[in-house]
Structure 1
């Protein structure tokens, strides 16, 4: 059940994160409803503690994506993101080099811009050389590239 909820949050957050990227129109009612749904699901799943490291990694990734993609904030969104990052730091060393670990490293890098996370993500990406990438791998690399080209945390730009 939890895995299904995590997967749903990931899919909705992914949709919101990439809404309009393909030049399709963005309708305000769909955008608003999707923002509300992602934020609501993230808040519900935030308190869950999965029993496996992979499930915890998937949950942390989905939560970071969800909170990053949404416009809503009940006043404690940054504290929640900080707590999710703390959960990530506890499991990263136990995850094998994989797409999931790379995605989690990139999501963490998007929040704190720590060079160590960037280097670890690149080390995993370098193992993909010489073969065709999946769509998810390609998205991860493109997102990381956009972060590297614009290395300013949102709080520095907003201030």
Structure 2
């Protein structure tokens, strides 16, 4: 299961950052990545995991994968809600960690529930000043989602 989660995480990252390196984006590569990410997400969606950390990693990966893809066979929102429900169950079981923070941020990106962002900030506050690359990445991601949340809230008025 871990290798499948890691493979989907890698593909999703590639899709999300396609073209960010200055290379041109080719339609066939975009199509292929979207198709493969969606297909792998669909295959992993109903899978059972072996432990809480694996469940959290799967939920983070699936939320990002579904968010990154342009495809929807009419049930994407329902599947995302199922993943959010699974995430809610596992969040209370895992210790404060980078993984928990990643799951909080992924869920916050879908729901804009401020309590999730606050809990992520509490975990980050315990990291100190010298952040690892992964810690910096999730901190930046939370900031971006919070900025999007602010814009989202102001455009709904």
Provide the TM-score with structure 2 as the length reference: 0.92
Runs ≥4 in structure 1, deviation > 4 angstroms? none
Distance, in Å, in 2 between the alignment partners of 1:8 and 1:92 is 23
Deviation string for 1:79-125 (max 9, x for gaps)?
A: 00000000000010111111111010000000000011000110111
* 1:8 pairs with 2:35: no
RMSD: 1.9
Distance, in Å, in 2 between the alignment partners of 1:73 and 1:118 is 27
**Alignment check: 8 A CA contact 1:95 1:101 kept:** yes
Aligned match of 2:148:
150
**Alignment check: 8 A CA contact 1:113 1:153 kept:** no
Aligned match of 1:90:
89
CA shift, 1:157, in A, is: 6.9
Aligned match of 1:34:
33
Aligned residues: 155
CA shift, 1:18, in A, is: 2.0
Ranges in structure 1 where 5+ consecutive residues have no aligned partner: none
Provide the TM-score with structure 1 as the length reference: 0.91
Distance, in Å, in 1 between the alignment partners of 2:49 and 2:126 is 28
Distance, in Å, in 2 between the alignment partners of 1:59 and 1:26 is 28
* 1:25 pairs with 2:57: no
Aligned match of 2:132:
134
Aligned match of 1:72:
71
1:46-125 equivalences under 5 Å are 46-125=45-124
Residue 79 of structure 1 aligns to a residue whose secondary structure is: helix
Ranges in structure 2 where 5+ consecutive residues have no aligned partner: none
